[in-house]
Structure 1
Amino acid sequence: MKIPKTLLTPTRRPALRKRHLAAAGLVLGAAVLLTACQSTPTRPPLAVAERLDIDRYMGDWYVIAVIPTWPERDAYDALERYERRPDGKIATTFTFRHGGHDEPLKTMNPVGTVLPNTGNAIWTMQFLWPFEADYRIMHIDPDYKEVVVGREKRDYVWIMSRTPTMPAADLERLTRFVEAQGYDVSKLRKVPQRPR
């Protein structure tokens, strides 16, 4: 709409400019939101194991490869141990050495909580109250010898085994599985394990 110049008095110009800027801001904001919605593809939910036997899952798991969290970025001899507590929660002991096999052992003790109606495959891990981290058992083999644990955000992942070594073909197969779930496997790091 064209406004006659006679109406654009000095007292009306600033108010008119503010309204034009506000309208332009709204249009630009809406355009950005629409573009963001269209350009962000939706990913399917992360795969999770159909049914996990908690008792069989307990015990030691060696970390074979990982897209690491900050503390794990240079981990050696990483081992995750799970034990069921009387209250139903999972006591977790994560041990590793930072930077080499001869470095001092470091320990973390998060507590796992199995979420109901998830086939026991989706947990939360609490490292520090009140913060809880997503923990999803994406794959477990029928013999409970290999496992892949990830997060819905696809930022961290752990490929673990009951033994400190894993055949190269198995690691490659699990790496392809992780990649198919939408992870950037170029970030995957093999964890050095001291021969036992």
Structure 2
Amino acid sequence: MNSKTRKLLLAGGAVLIAGSMLSTANANTTEVQAVSKVDLNKYLGTWHEIARKPLYFQNKCDYNVTAKYSLNENGNVKVDNSCYSADGKLNQSIGEAYVQNAPANSKLKVSFLPKAIRWLPVGRGDYWVLKIDDDYQTALVGSPNKKYLWVLSRTANPDQATVDEYLDYAKSIGFDLSDLIKTKHK
């Protein structure tokens, strides 16, 4: 191998390594991390959806979107989602959430498959608690692929500064909020 070929190979290798390092660095700066710990007993109860990214399974939801969480008989979390369509019809979906990182409890997988087949490890979505206040009044929940995102509150009309803080945090970790839907409450 002549010196010109060697130099080209070394230069090409350096470019590949640098590119690899840059893409890794950029990925790390926007990597989604769940909070370090969620007290499930404090998290249970009713949450009002304040904002979300568009989701096909919530297309019929127009207003008063809520999620009610309770422990079921097997220790998993029962998920009772409800909302009203534009014509006033109540829509409800019952599912189950499975903790993926006990005892931290901040990463869950949620399934809305029929109860008889929920044991199958398919059809489960990531539900990570990304930010939550100490009093469990406001939460940011999303997925590591940044496809799903919700701002949840214990009240239907939280302080706008708090909502903005949670949305700013979502932007800072790489969520695109250009298509954000702000939930109506009546």
Q: Which runs of 5+ in 1 are unaligned?
A: 1-33
Tell me, in whole angstroms, the C-alpha distance in 1 between the residues paired with 2:85 and 2:175: 25
| Equivalent in the alignment of 2:32 | 46
Tell which structure's C-alpha radius of gyration is larger: 1
Say if 2:117 is the partner of 1:132.
Answer: no
Residue 81 of structure 1 and its aligned partner are, at CA, apart by 0.3
Stretches of 4+ moved more than 4 A in 1?
Answer: 37-41
| Equivalent in the alignment of 1:85 | 72
RMSD of equivalent CA atoms: 1.9
| Equivalent in the alignment of 2:4 | none
Residue 186 of structure 1 and its aligned partner are, at CA, apart by 1.1
1:25-72 per-residue CA deviation (whole Å, 9 max, x = no partner) reads xxxxxxxxx8xx869652443121111110110000000011131132
- TM-score of the superposition, structure 2-length normalised? 0.78
- TM-score of the superposition, structure 1-length normalised? 0.74
**Secondary structure at 2:74 match in 1:** coil
Say if 2:161 is the partner of 1:169.
Answer: yes
**Secondary structure at 2:147 match in 1:** coil
Tell me, in whole angstroms, the C-alpha distance in 2 between the residues paired with 1:126 and 1:71: 12
**Secondary structure at 2:170 match in 1:** helix
Contact between 2:142 and 2:149, CA under 8 Å: does it hold in 1?
A: yes
Q: Which runs of 5+ in 2 are unaligned?
A: 1-15
- The share of aligned pairs that are identical, in percent, is 23
Say if 2:170 is the partner of 1:178.
Answer: yes
Tell me, in whole angstroms, the C-alpha distance in 2 between the residues paired with 1:75 and 1:88: 32
| Equivalent in the alignment of 2:143 | 151
Contact between 2:33 and 2:144, CA under 8 Å: does it hold in 1?
A: no
Tell me, in whole angstroms, the C-alpha distance in 2 between the residues paired with 1:118 and 1:154: 24
Aligned length: 157
Distance 1:68 1:118, change over 3 A: farther
